Amino acid sequence: MSLRIFIPGDAGAVAVGADEVAAAFATVARERGVVLDIIRNGSRGLYWLEPMVEVETPAGRIAYGPTAPGDAPSLLDAVLGSGQHRLRQGRAEDIPWLKRQTRLTFARCGIADPRSLADYQRQGGGKGLERALLLGPPATIETVVQSGLRGRGGAGFPTGIKWRTVAQTSAPRKYVVCNADEGDSGTFADRMIMEGDPFVLIEGMAIAAFAVGATKGYIYIRSEYPHAVAAMNAACAAARRGGLLGRGIGGSSHDFDIEVRVGAGAYVCGEETSLLESLEGRRGVVRAKPPLPAHHGLFGKPTVINNVLSFASVPIILEQGAAFYWGFGAGKSRGTMPIQLAGNVKYGGLFETAFGITLGELVDDIGGGTFTGRSVRAVQVGGPLGAYFPRALFDTPFDYESFAARDGLIGHGGLVLFDDTVNMARQARFAMEFCAIESCGKCTPCRIGARRGVETIDRIIGDDNRAAHLDVLQDLCHTMKYGSLCALGGFTPYPVMSALTHFPEDFGAAPKRLQAAE
Amino acid sequence: MSVNEPWNVDRANALIAAHSGAEGPLLPILHAFNDAFGYIDKAAEPLIAAALNISRAEVHGVVTFYHDFRSKPAGRHVLKLCRAEACQAAGGDAIAARAERQLGVAIGRTAADGGVTLEPVYCLGLCATAPAAMLDGRVVGRLDERRLEALLAEAQR
């Protein structure tokens, strides 16, 4: 019997040497005549331990990390001997950082072999679709509605309601589109699912297609994710061979197939209507709503468009029932959220947990503060369009409503930590600069406002008539927020205004004056 | 290192034919051109327009909208440095400045000898192993001085 070793093929692990570690293991094993079965799994999401090597033993999978290619000989000695090694972390499931999590969407990520449909099914995958086929479309949609699942892309719209709207339309052709244009800095959960458990996304999309009567699906993946593109293409081919896609999915009479499409480097294509334009072969220019994509989506047909995490959360909801999923979380934020800890963070990675944990717990207890060892000054929550939170607001519970109440958003669940060397006026300037670079150009507040925003912040930084320009900036943010067609122009004021409100000293403004202006 | 074919009309027409059966074939066709030739030749636009029965202006509009589609070939190596927030928080500004200085190329430009193109990228999804970069499609994370040196040496080869 060969020895099974897991070395992640996840891009985040590959970026810190996982391919070299896998090659070193193969070489050392060959030299010693040891038969190794090296499986390139997804990442468990403990990135400070990557490349994290796991070895299958009778006592479970023992983790070692962070490894380097030079560790391969001593690790192989350890594995074949006592198991003791300076990089040993114990059983992967027992690592406290992982143990504290509630992994529903990420239940198999980092565990299963992402290239094997058989392994997916062995690990419990496929039961959601089975259940949906038994329930029938209306009860499937009702289950998703009752679960409380909301769009994990950032907007937080109830997924089941979207599906119901599409199901109620009658059209010769309907589509299911997966938004995998994960452009927010600080987020990588979609990428991890696609690379680590691609079949769960396929299963989620297949359930959606069955529920609304769609026959064709697209996964629109950003071009910055070549590993995810390769993994999804391979998984779709395997799913076709295994009957999960194609004619009669899962043994039913419903046909559904998925095609992977690659973006071309436009952040705005993460906005759903812009993404649909791009899929149709046009400039990624935002559409005015209504009509909603549910009525008039891809090629003018009724379309379910959801984020990767929304689709990937559906199989477990169907398998375990709506009440099970609804039982996690609080208020109107039900279930779990895969939160991503990033930037200047000591323990960065993916932390899936029920809604309601506070920002402070995430930053200090779980993230462990900064890797530079300096104090955390600001945390940007929800990507480039999310607000910067100061320590004074670390008691904010992580859920949609609590963040909105404090002029922020949870977005796609990314947290970017900054230490005390950050200049918040520069960060505000970058928010405007990014909006100017990525604006689709359709509406004026975004296209022109972002450019004026950069210029205005430059004048504030340069102390050119500062007080007047601070007023202009606030006025401009107001116009962008309420006058833009989509979230790019509409939400850019969040990072800008939060930086100005919570860190006025970086803008050369007296804190009191700004507070009085509120 | 990227090895591209020289622009060739017959090859271009074959690539168009390979994708024109798809729904919304324009982006797949442009990606195929970018991959094969390393850029979208001016002569490609009328070919695509005729094949898809759309105007040249529409094709040109799409080519120029997306950051990925190049109007001329890149350098022998393409080094993309992530300039987004998570990498900024992890020291990405210093990494970018050092890369510019050492390569003698500003971000967004190609070296005069055609050796390397230095580009900004807004997130590679490697935010927990920041700062991150991509050299000719290969991802690199936790960039520090030592790793950057190795990367720049490779980019200058």
Is 90 exceeded by the pLDDT of residue A214? yes
Domains of chain B: 9-65 (no CATH), 77-155 (3.40.30.10)
Q: Other C-beta atoms within 10 Å of A479: how many? A: 17
Asked if residue A232 belongs to a domain, the reply is: yes
C-alpha torsion B101→A17→A46→B137, nearest 10: 60
Q: Please name the residue that has the structure tokens 């991802």.
A: B139
Asked if residue A109 belongs to a domain, the reply is: no
Contact B62, A266 (CB under 8 A): no
**B49 at the A interface (CB within 8 A)?**
no
Nearest to A52 by CA among A68, A38, A34: A68
pLDDT at position A509:
72
pLDDT at position A510:
62
Are A185 and A263 within one domain? yes
Are A239 and A164 within one domain? yes
Question: Hey, are the CB atoms on B126 and A419 less than 8 Å from each other?
Answer: no
Mean pLDDT for the stretch of residues B88-115: 96
3-state SS, A194-227, equals: HHHCHHHHHHHHHHHHHHHCCCEEEEEECCCCHH
Are A223 and A299 within one domain? yes
Helices assigned H by DSSP within chain B: 9-19, 26-37, 44-52, 56-65, 85-89, 92-103, 145-155
Q: pLDDT tens-digit profile of A107-162?
A: 999 999 999 999 999 999 999 999 999 999 999 999 999 999 999 998 899 999 99
Residues on chain A touching B148 (C-beta within 8 angstroms)? none
Q: Other C-beta atoms within 10 Å of B106: how many? A: 8
Where residue B157 falls among pLDDT bands split at 50, 70, 90?
A: confident
Contact A371, A344 (CB under 8 A): yes
What is the SS3 assignment for A376? strand
Residues on chain A touching B121 (C-beta within 8 angstroms)? 224, 265
The rounded mean pLDDT for chain B is 96
Q: Is residue A290 classed exposed, middle or buried when 0-12, 13-18 and 19+ CB atoms within 10 A define those classes?
A: exposed
What is the SS3 assignment for A109? coil
**Percentage of the residues of chain A whose pLDDT score is greater than 90:** 97
pLDDT at position A518:
40
Residues on chain A touching B66 (C-beta within 8 angstroms)? 263-266, 284
State the total domains in chain A: 4
pLDDT at position A187:
98
- Domain ends where: A374, A395, A419? A419
Nearest to A99 by CA among A91, A110, A87: A91
**A428 at the B interface (CB within 8 A)?**
no
Question: Hey, are the CB atoms on A340 and B127 less than 8 Å from each other?
Answer: yes
* Half-sphere exposure of residue A84: CA atoms within 13 angstroms, side-chain side: 1
Nearest to A273 by CA among A251, A248, A292, A258: A292
CATH number at residue A178: 3.40.50.11540
Domain residues for the domain of A340 are 329-419
Asked if residue A106 belongs to a domain, the reply is: no
Is 70 exceeded by the pLDDT of residue A68? yes
Are A70 and A146 within one domain? no
Residues on chain B touching A184 (C-beta within 8 angstroms)? 123
What is the SS3 assignment for A61? strand
Are A286 and A190 within one domain? yes
Asked if residue A104 belongs to a domain, the reply is: no
The nearest CA of chain B is from the CA of A418 a distance in Å of 5
Contact A367, A415 (CB under 8 A): yes
The nearest CA of chain A is from the CA of B89 a distance in Å of 5
Q: Other C-beta atoms within 10 Å of A455: how many? A: 14
Q: pTM, whole model, 2 decimals?
A: 0.97
Are A155 and A219 within one domain? yes
Q: Which residues contact residue A201 at a Cβ distance below 8 angstroms, ignoring those fewer than 6 apart?
A: A178, A193, A194, A219, A232, A308, A311, A312
Asked if residue A237 belongs to a domain, the reply is: yes
Q: Is residue B153 classed exposed, middle or buried when 0-12, 13-18 and 19+ CB atoms within 10 A define those classes?
A: exposed
The nearest CA of chain B is from the CA of A131 a distance in Å of 32
Are A322 and A334 within one domain? no
β-pair type (A53-57, A60-64): antiparallel
- Domain ends where: A38, A71, A99? A99
The nearest CA of chain B is from the CA of A416 a distance in Å of 6
**φ, ψ (nearest 5 deg) of residue A307:** -75, 160
The rounded mean pLDDT for chain A is 96
Enumerate the β-bridge partners of residue B118. Answer: B79
Are A334 and A321 within one domain? no
Contact A54, A92 (CB under 8 A): yes
Q: Taking the alpha carbons of B150, B151, B153, B157 in that order, is the dihedral positive or negative?
A: positive
The nearest CA of chain B is from the CA of A224 a distance in Å of 6
Residues in chain A: 518
* 3-state percent breakdown (helix, strand, coil) of chain B, nearest 5: 45, 10, 40
Where residue A516 falls among pLDDT bands split at 50, 70, 90?
A: very low
Instruction: List the single residue in A with minimal CA-CA distance to B31.
Output: A264
Nearest-angstrom CA–CA distance, A106 and A316: 10
Which two tokens mark B52? Answer: 């898809």
Asked if residue A105 belongs to a domain, the reply is: no
Are A471 and A345 within one domain? no
Where residue A517 falls among pLDDT bands split at 50, 70, 90?
A: very low
Nearest-angstrom CA–CA distance, A349 and A368: 12
CATH number at residue A353: 3.10.20.600
Q: Which amino acid is at B117?
A: T
Contact B103, B116 (CB under 8 A): yes
Is 90 exceeded by the pLDDT of residue A96? yes
Q: Which residues contact residue A237 at a Cβ distance below 8 angstroms, ignoring those fewer than 6 apart?
A: none
pLDDT at position A515:
47
Is 70 exceeded by the pLDDT of residue B1? no
Nearest-angstrom CA–CA distance, A79 and A140: 46
**B36 at the A interface (CB within 8 A)?**
no
Chain A interface, best mutation among B19, B33, B65, B119, by max A CB count within 10 A? B65
**A186 at the B interface (CB within 8 A)?**
yes
C-alpha torsion A307→B19→A198→A356, nearest 10: -10
Q: Is the peptide bond preceding residue B73 cis, with omega within 30 degrees of 0? A: no
Asked if residue A288 belongs to a domain, the reply is: yes
Which two tokens mark B18? Answer: 């390979």
Asked if residue A34 belongs to a domain, the reply is: yes
Q: pLDDT tens-digit profile of B119-137?
A: 999 999 999 999 999 999 9
**B31 at the A interface (CB within 8 A)?**
yes
Which two tokens mark B148? Answer: 């950057």
Nearest-angstrom CA–CA distance, A220 and A223: 9
pLDDT at position B2:
63
β-pair type (A376-381, A388-390): antiparallel
Residues of A48-59 as b/e, b for ≥16 C-beta within 10 angstroms? bbbbbbbbbeee
Q: pLDDT tens-digit profile of A489-514?
A: 999 999 999 999 999 999 987 654 44
CATH number at residue A93: 3.40.30.10
Instruction: List the single residue in A with minimal CA-CA distance to B82.
Output: A185
Is 80 exceeded by the pLDDT of residue B29? yes
Are A136 and A254 within one domain? yes
Where residue B3 falls among pLDDT bands split at 50, 70, 90?
A: confident
**B147 at the A interface (CB within 8 A)?**
no
- Domain ends where: A292, A326, A360? A326
pLDDT at position A361:
98
The nearest CA of chain B is from the CA of A134 a distance in Å of 32
Chain B interface, best mutation among A19, A67, A176, A185, by max B CB count within 10 A? A185
- H-helix or E-strand spanning residue A490: helix A487-491
Q: Please name the residue that has the structure tokens 């074919």.
A: B5
Provide the edge-to-edge strand list for the sheet that holds A414-419.
Answer: A349-354, A336-343, A414-419, A376-381, A388-390
**B40 at the A interface (CB within 8 A)?**
no
| Closest CB from A16, A261, A343 relative to B86 | A343
Nearest-angstrom CA–CA distance, A141 and A150: 13
Are A360 and A475 within one domain? no
Start-to-end Cα distance in chain A: 70
Q: pLDDT tens-digit profile of A306-329?
A: 999 999 999 999 999 999 999 999
Are A79 and A155 within one domain? no
Enumerate the β-bridge partners of residue A358. Answer: A397
**Percentage of the residues of chain A whose pLDDT score is greater than 70:** 98
pLDDT at position A381:
98
Where residue A394 falls among pLDDT bands split at 50, 70, 90?
A: very high
Q: Which amino acid is at A57?
A: T
**A67 at the B interface (CB within 8 A)?**
no
